[in-house]
Amino acid sequence: MMVPKEELIGVLSQFNPWWRKESIPDLPPWRRAAFRELQSWMTAPPVQRAVLISGARQIGKTTLMLQVVDELVRQGVPVGNILYATFDHPLLKLAGMDAVLEAWREIEPKAEGQEYIFLDEAQFIRDWGTRIKHQVDFFKQRRIAFTGSAMPLVEEGQESGVGRWSTIRLTTLSFYEYIQIKRLTLPALPSVKSLVELFGWSQSEFYRIAQTSLPYVSHFHEYLVRGGFPQTSQMESITQAQRLLREDIIDKVLKRDMTALFGVRRVLELEHTFLYLCMHDGGLLDMVNLCSNLEVKRPTAQNYIALLEATHLIYKLPPFGYGKDVLRGKFKIYLADAAIAPAVMLKGKSILEDPAALGVAAEAAVFKHLFTRYYPMNVRFSYWRGRKNLEIDLVAEVAGDVIPFEVKYRTRNTGPGDLKGLLEFTREKSIDRGYAVTKSLDDFGLMEGLPVGAARILRIPAPLLCYWMGESELLP
């Protein structure tokens, strides 16, 4: 659709204050772990590709891009060679990508050197895959980053996008990032690049760090309630934070994005499906029960679940194994952030007084941190169920290793009798180590009293695991 050029230029001028030698307003001083990765792609890319920043709404994709823009300006890049455009804006959406690029070059003539293009909410660009492919193939002097809040941005463009862009998967804030953003002053903890390091610690080191990390526990519990969304994590009122999060998810994602991007008409059914998943966070997906309770047909429910995964609201974990083991098994569902279920249900801080709900939230947080840490390494996550109802919450297959995690987030300390599933799995699969994620800080250290020849089991409190998984992303 034709949009008057002067109106288009006016909108672009508002979004690009550096053209007027002005600073970017309200840009936070803190930086996500992904900042370094995106900056590297824009300044010294390993290959000639665009970069897709994929993730849910309100997790900081726009802020991340603008921080890289700010750094480019500070490094002396000619301001006219940098363009930011969000296609969530109605005029830019109507005008289209080609008209935006044309208007940019009309108001800001190209200077010497590389050009940097940042396209926000690119799923609203018509034929986005073809247009970005064209830019990568024919404009070698341009480096392009674009964001999307829906997985079809990746899936629909896979064929044309092969070799044209790489993906940075942005999740909600890690516990480590949450501490940095809130500027909390806490005792320093040692850096841990890999959990394997902890197997070499002495008992006195476990005891010393357990004592040092005591102030982290209350903040971890508040993190589980507030969640890892930058805006809500900084609000004073938990009730207001949860209400805002609920409105962003229900109103913007379920009611707006699902209609605009996927053509969903029966939004109420979709919302009910999501509410059902919120009530079963971290559990196995029983499609028969879901369909019966919500009175929807199985193909409809499966489609809704696929859409919720596409918009980064849930993760699906298959059973461990391949072939028939996966096809016949049920999927396990995790919400994208531990705070989503309490926010959608407007439960306030009540989950902190409910051991079962708190355990579910802790398990969801543990999965999110492990996923974020291992995602760049092409991790495959699953769960395991063996004979006599033995089970393991999470199994990570990464870089040739199979790493099992069992979450035991409860008051009493964890003993060998609590880890029959973990011990059976490590024995059956000939795995030499496993992890029991615990609640109490004194439930920290190497497991004693294990059978002869058993795998080594490390008990690690969830606050410390989440802290170190988040910190390791920022380590050089």
Tally: H helices and E strands in the chain: 22, 13
Show the tokens assigned to 136. Answer: 């990568």
- Rounded to 5 degrees, what angle do the CA atoms 257, 262, 264 make? 85
Show the tokens assigned to 214. Answer: 């005591």
Residue 468 near residue 475 (C-beta atoms within 8 A): no
The number of residues in the chain equals 476
pTM: 0.90
Residue 384 phi/psi, 5-degree rounding, is -130, 135
Per-position b or e across 334-372, b if 16+ CB within 10 A of its CB: bbbbbbbbbbbbebeeebbeeeebbbbbbbbbbbbbbbb
Residue 308 near residue 275 (C-beta atoms within 8 A): no
Alpha helices in 4-48 (DSSP H): 5-15, 34-43
The domain ranges of the chain are 5-170, 176-472
pLDDT at 157: 47
SS3 385: strand
Residue 294 near residue 36 (C-beta atoms within 8 A): no
Q: What amino acid is encoded at 162 in this protein?
A: V
Show the tokens assigned to 172. Answer: 């909600």
Pick the closest to residue 132 from 85, 66, 63, 81 (CA basis): 85
Q: Which residues contact 323 (CB under 8 A, 6 or more apart)?
A: none
Show the tokens assigned to 177. Answer: 């990032």
- Rounded to 5 degrees, what angle do the CA atoms 466, 468, 469 make? 65
| Residue-by-residue pLDDT tens, the chain, 476 positions | 678 889 999 999 999 999 999 999 989 988 998 999 999 999 998 888 999 999 888 899 999 999 999 999 999 999 999 999 999 899 999 999 999 999 999 999 999 999 999 999 998 888 888 899 999 989 989 999 999 876 554 455 444 555 688 889 899 999 999 999 999 999 999 999 899 999 999 999 999 999 999 999 999 999 999 889 998 888 888 888 888 888 888 778 888 888 877 888 898 999 999 999 999 888 899 999 999 999 999 999 999 999 899 888 999 999 998 776 666 778 999 999 999 999 988 888 888 899 999 999 999 999 999 999 988 888 899 999 988 889 999 999 988 899 999 999 998 899 999 999 999 999 999 999 999 999 999 999 999 999 888 999 999 999 999 999 998 766 54
Q: Cα–Cα distance between 265 and 223 in angstroms, integer?
A: 35
Superfamily of domain 5-170: P-loop containing nucleotide triphosphate hydrolases (3.40.50.300)
Q: Cα–Cα distance between 474 and 421 in angstroms, integer?
A: 33
Q: Cα–Cα distance between 190 and 174 in angstroms, integer?
A: 17
How many other C-beta atoms can be found within 10 angstroms of the C-beta atom of residue 7?
12
pLDDT at 165: 86
Q: Cα–Cα distance between 436 and 405 in angstroms, integer?
A: 6
Residue 284 phi/psi, 5-degree rounding, is -75, 140
How many other C-beta atoms can be found within 10 angstroms of the C-beta atom of residue 59?
24
DSSP secondary structure string for all residues of 222-247: HHHHH-S-HHHHT-S-HHHHHHHHHH
pLDDT at 206: 97
Question: Which helix H or strand E contains 302, and what residues bound it?
Answer: helix 298-310
